[in-house]
Chain A
Amino acid sequence: MTRADRTHDDAPPRDAAARRDATAFAPSRRAFLRGLAAGGGFVLAFGLGDRVLAHALSADASDTPFEPNAFLRIASDGTITLFAKHDEMGQGIHTGLAIEVAEELEAAVADIDVRPAPADRAFDHSLYGVQATGGSTSTWTSFDQMRTVGATARVMLVAAAAARWGLAPGDCVARDGRVERRDGTAALTYGELATDAARLPVPEDVPLKAPERFRKIGRPTPRVDSPAKVRGTALFSYDQRRPGMLTAMVERAPTFGGSVARVDDTAALAIPGVRRVVVVPSGVAVVADGFWAARRGRAALRVEWADGPGAQLDSARLRREYTRRAGFPGNVVRADGDFDAAAADADRVLEATYEVPYMAHAPMEPLSCMVELHEDGGAHLVTGSQFLGIDHPAAAAALGVDPSRVTVENSYLGGGFGRRANPAADFTVEAIHVARAVRDLGVPVKTVWTREDDLRGGWYRPLWVNGITAAVKDGRLVGWRHRIVGQSIATGTAFEGAMVIDGVDGTSVEGAADMPHGIPNVRVELHTMKLAVPVQWWRSVGHSNTAFAKEAFLDECAEACGKDGYAFRRELLAGHERLLAVLDRAAEAAGWGGPLPVGVGHGISVHESFEGFAAHVVEASVVDGRPKVHRVVCAIDCGQVVNPDQVVSQMQGAAIFALSAAVDAQITFTDGRVDQSNFDDFPILRMHEAPPVEVHIVDTGGKQGGIGEVGVPGVAPALCAALHGATGRRIRRLPIGDQLG
């Protein structure tokens, strides 16, 4: 071991073994491939096999860039490029990954040019084994891997400098993008060392800094994407253009599962700029010179549809049926003790039905995907996706070619919230079908979605109804039965095998089946409904339902036990240190127990999701029959924080996102048709409705966990508890809408 290395290895890495298991990242000599790529690019790849990376950039051989792995590239002009394995959809992960790398590389985060990685197995999710961004896992599953990327490169750059100076590596030190002689007599920039470093062997088992030595991780770091996004120069999928590119818009069946019976495209084709009208599996595509011609052309289509199985969908009927089911036993997911006996012996039995609606993700940037077909049957796609690992093989399958013939380039994502992680690669495959249908035109085709397409296109958070029964004895909660009724997200997808066990989709019961509260008799049951509505993970997935039902009903139980919601939860969560820590912090910061203005109520919640722990206090009142949120205070424990300001930002945004879903937004069906169409009838919070959101980060020294979704589940129940405090009325169905009017 060199001295330079030792400077990073004075203390043993915290939890290193545990984290390595969790991330399944164990770099081996075999997995580190080094070589001079075509054109001179130096490539060191983790687990790449012998494939040439899609993004390997050609360079002058005499000017060899240093590419110590698939993620990192250092050019001789000093440019440092990081190919981000996780997609930037607002959560700040490009910055987070850069911080992790920079910490070990000893370079400034601001000097790293972070680009979205293309589809390639090198960028597989460390836990999921497929290239994906979701589940609030990006930071903690990449933490060791990205630090190793930085550390490996640093060691090689130091070695290159040492060789140049004829010194031992230990006589050199890496600092701020340069390698310096320890005697202070000389320094070389990473750019100046890149070509030399590219020729060096790759070290193994490079030690990582102990957390006490972190200089970047854990400190607020400006986002790397802010300036370009604010100035409008950042490229999103919708912004992608190519010479000759056409724009396509698809008219989809008005009911799920419907199909085209007859098309009259006469009027559509008469619109200037409309080139083609083609039938594709998902509907009728209008291919035109640009968005507006496509939009006008689509409006002029006359399509007769054959109804599909979704034609009978009716929200009122669905809700009745779901509620009826909640009255009957379901598939038993958890059975601690004997709930029935506890209920029979109870002083009091409480029952309630809680309900959340279908919900659209509605990212601000609507979906799009551009396809350039190659003559060999392959294609190049430019998209905005959380799921390149699913899209890539799906695109190849749709084209009938080997995935090696298909390349997929990602963009910034104008919001995702789960929608862009489609298990069926819906918008990707559709774009392939459209492009193939007009292959003879020989130009790239970008298939774009409108807001109406987005809201009516399915893949919603499922409608869920919860029947919950609690047994109270001697002022204590002794029994809890939670019946969940809803569709399975994972069934029928590639994830079914991993996620659906004994007929139970883990996402349907997460947050309920694993509730940690000290209740001796707990029973959790699931009714899985099969419907024509395509459903999908929506920021916080099952927790967006179960936490609402659980926490809101706990508030009813607290009242029945004559206890304050905070004290009640403290008792039930005894021994659960991280939950208690955030609960206490939120309560303290909000001044729980202190006086509130007349007419204002407060509510509290605490919930674990995605290995993150969050507590919320909401203060709210009712004005003109509508909920008014005055303030949200939250606390989060996600373990070692990489960029605290972005944790705050995620929690702030999550609270607003959750409030939108709690207050007004929903997707409903009448006669099989989606009732909503745009932001007028799918209202999300606006500036004048947005409360201040105060965020407190708690670190109990526990394992790293999630952030992005963790801030969502607890908001709605805390709000409803606050409204109960303000009005005495219980809200058991979201959205609240006019229920208080």
Chain B
Amino acid sequence: MRTIRRAVPLRPLAVALVAAGVGLLAACTPGTHDEPAAARASSASVVQTPAEGFAVVARVLRHPRCLNCHPAGDRPRVGDDARLHAMEVQRGPANHGVDALRCDACHRDANQPLAELPGAPHWSLAPRSMGWEGLDDHALAAALRDPATNGGRSLDDVLRHVTEDPLVLWGWDPGPGRSPVPVPHDAFVDALRTWIEGGAPSPEPGIVTTF
């Protein structure tokens, strides 16, 4: 089994999430966050190979800021510990909650710091086809490449999406009470570009790269 930075063997979902959570706690406690992030930034910004690029991408996509709303099932997760969203919140028919309890009943297009309530434009769950929860790096790479599982996008579209989409960008500005993605956004985009330009290869099966 290969290990890229901190990788764990594919295990049940909970294990991977716990690992992600532990890594985050180490990396993102207030006040200590900048340094490791900067360190990662330098490592991320010097990715040379598509594989190195994808390792950065995989870590970011598995960060709770991203993965919480890309669940495999119909329940979003919340918080750095990726617990199930309270209130029995459901995906609903259009990934936007259910009648009388839609996502935008609470989440609007900006964070609300005093309420510690996150918000960004078109706040919603990723479609079920884009559920990343439980995927290993191999499957995740395949999911990103395949228009059937990436929201009907070309790889260029994927790159543009993560570069510009305000809901994606929110992951780097999540408001109080939540850790931002600890890789600078431009480093993430560079890593994704490196992977795409290198042919978007799949890592071997059985690897789950996390923070």
Distance in angstroms from A625 CB to nearest chain B CB is 11
Using a CB–CB distance below 8 Å, which chain A residues touch chain B? 295-296, 299, 680, 683, 686-688
Using a CB–CB distance below 8 Å, which chain B residues touch chain A? 86-88, 114
User: What residues of A have a CB within 8 angstroms of the CB of B87 in the complex?
Assistant: 686
Q: Evaluate contact between B88 and A296: CB separation under 8 angstroms.
A: no
Query: How many Å lie between the Cα of A286 and that of B51 in the bound state?
Result: 56
Q: Evaluate contact between B88 and A688: CB separation under 8 angstroms.
A: yes
Distance in angstroms from A272 CB to nearest chain B CB is 15
Q: Evaluate contact between A686 and B88: CB separation under 8 angstroms.
A: yes
Query: How many Å lie between the Cα of A687 and that of B86 in the bound state?
Result: 12
Q: A295-B114, A686-B86, A688-B88 are in contact. List 7 more A-B contacts (CB 8 A).
A: A296-B114, A299-B114, A680-B86, A683-B86, A686-B87, A686-B88, A687-B88
10 contacts between A and B (CB under 8 A): A295-B114, A296-B114, A299-B114, A680-B86, A683-B86, A686-B86, A686-B87, A686-B88, A687-B88, A688-B88
- Name the CB-closest residue of A to B114: A299
Main secondary structure of the interface of A (DSSP, over half): helix
User: What residues of B have a CB within 8 angstroms of the CB of A683 in the complex?
Assistant: 86
User: What residues of A have a CB within 8 angstroms of the CB of B88 in the complex?
Assistant: 686-688
Distance in angstroms from A142 CB to nearest chain B CB is 40
Query: How many Å lie between the Cα of A686 and that of B87 in the bound state?
Result: 7
User: What residues of A have a CB within 8 angstroms of the CB of B86 in the complex?
Assistant: 680, 683, 686
User: What residues of B have a CB within 8 angstroms of the CB of A296 in the complex?
Assistant: 114
- Name the CB-closest residue of A to B87: A686
Query: How many Å lie between the Cα of A688 and that of B75 in the bound state?
Result: 14
- Name the CB-closest residue of B to A683: B86
- Name the CB-closest residue of B to A680: B86
- Name the CB-closest residue of B to A687: B88
Query: How many Å lie between the Cα of A686 and that of B101 in the bound state?
Result: 14
- Name the CB-closest residue of B to A296: B114
- Name the CB-closest residue of B to A298: B114
Distance in angstroms from B75 CB to nearest chain A CB is 11
User: What residues of B have a CB within 8 angstroms of the CB of A687 in the complex?
Assistant: 88
Ranked 5 nearest A-B pairs via Cβ? A688-B88, A299-B114, A680-B86, A686-B87, A295-B114
- Name the CB-closest residue of A to B83: A680
Query: How many Å lie between the Cα of A295 and that of B114 in the bound state?
Result: 9
User: What residues of B have a CB within 8 angstroms of the CB of A299 in the complex?
Assistant: 114
Q: Which among A296, A680, A686 has the highest number of chain B CB atoms within 10 Å?
A: A680
User: What residues of B have a CB within 8 angstroms of the CB of A688 in the complex?
Assistant: 88
Distance in angstroms from A686 CB to nearest chain B CB is 6
Query: How many Å lie between the Cα of A680 and that of B106 in the bound state?
Result: 14
- Name the CB-closest residue of B to A677: B116
Query: How many Å lie between the Cα of A688 and that of B89 in the bound state?
Result: 11
Distance in angstroms from B77 CB to nearest chain A CB is 14
Query: How many Å lie between the Cα of A686 and that of B84 in the bound state?
Result: 14
Query: How many Å lie between the Cα of A683 and that of B85 in the bound state?
Result: 12
Query: How many Å lie between the Cα of A299 and that of B114 in the bound state?
Result: 8
Query: How many Å lie between the Cα of A688 and that of B88 in the bound state?
Result: 7
Distance in angstroms from B175 CB to nearest chain A CB is 14
- Name the CB-closest residue of B to A295: B114
Query: How many Å lie between the Cα of A296 and that of B88 in the bound state?
Result: 30
User: What residues of A have a CB within 8 angstroms of the CB of B114 in the complex?
Assistant: 295-296, 299
Query: How many Å lie between the Cα of A688 and that of B86 in the bound state?
Result: 11
Query: How many Å lie between the Cα of A299 and that of B176 in the bound state?
Result: 13
Distance in angstroms from B9 CB to nearest chain A CB is 23
Query: How many Å lie between the Cα of A371 and that of B33 in the bound state?
Result: 47
Query: How many Å lie between the Cα of A711 and that of B86 in the bound state?
Result: 27
- Name the CB-closest residue of B to A689: B88
Query: How many Å lie between the Cα of A680 and that of B78 in the bound state?
Result: 11
Distance in angstroms from B53 CB to nearest chain A CB is 37
Distance in angstroms from A403 CB to nearest chain B CB is 39
Query: How many Å lie between the Cα of A518 and that of B10 in the bound state?
Result: 59
Distance in angstroms from B129 CB to nearest chain A CB is 25
Distance in angstroms from B101 CB to nearest chain A CB is 10
Distance in angstroms from A458 CB to nearest chain B CB is 23
Query: How many Å lie between the Cα of A688 and that of B87 in the bound state?
Result: 8
Query: How many Å lie between the Cα of A683 and that of B87 in the bound state?
Result: 10
Query: How many Å lie between the Cα of A687 and that of B87 in the bound state?
Result: 8
- Name the CB-closest residue of B to A624: B84
Distance in angstroms from B65 CB to nearest chain A CB is 18
Query: How many Å lie between the Cα of A688 and that of B98 in the bound state?
Result: 14
Query: How many Å lie between the Cα of A299 and that of B115 in the bound state?
Result: 11
Query: How many Å lie between the Cα of A687 and that of B90 in the bound state?
Result: 14
- Name the CB-closest residue of B to A679: B86
User: What residues of B have a CB within 8 angstroms of the CB of A686 in the complex?
Assistant: 86-88
Query: How many Å lie between the Cα of A481 and that of B10 in the bound state?
Result: 52
Query: How many Å lie between the Cα of A295 and that of B86 in the bound state?
Result: 25
- Name the CB-closest residue of A to B78: A680
Distance in angstroms from A62 CB to nearest chain B CB is 55
Query: How many Å lie between the Cα of A590 and that of B86 in the bound state?
Result: 31
Distance in angstroms from A61 CB to nearest chain B CB is 55
Distance in angstroms from A505 CB to nearest chain B CB is 37
- Name the CB-closest residue of B to A688: B88
- Name the CB-closest residue of B to A678: B116
Query: How many Å lie between the Cα of A296 and that of B112 in the bound state?
Result: 12
Distance in angstroms from B95 CB to nearest chain A CB is 20
- Name the CB-closest residue of B to A292: B114
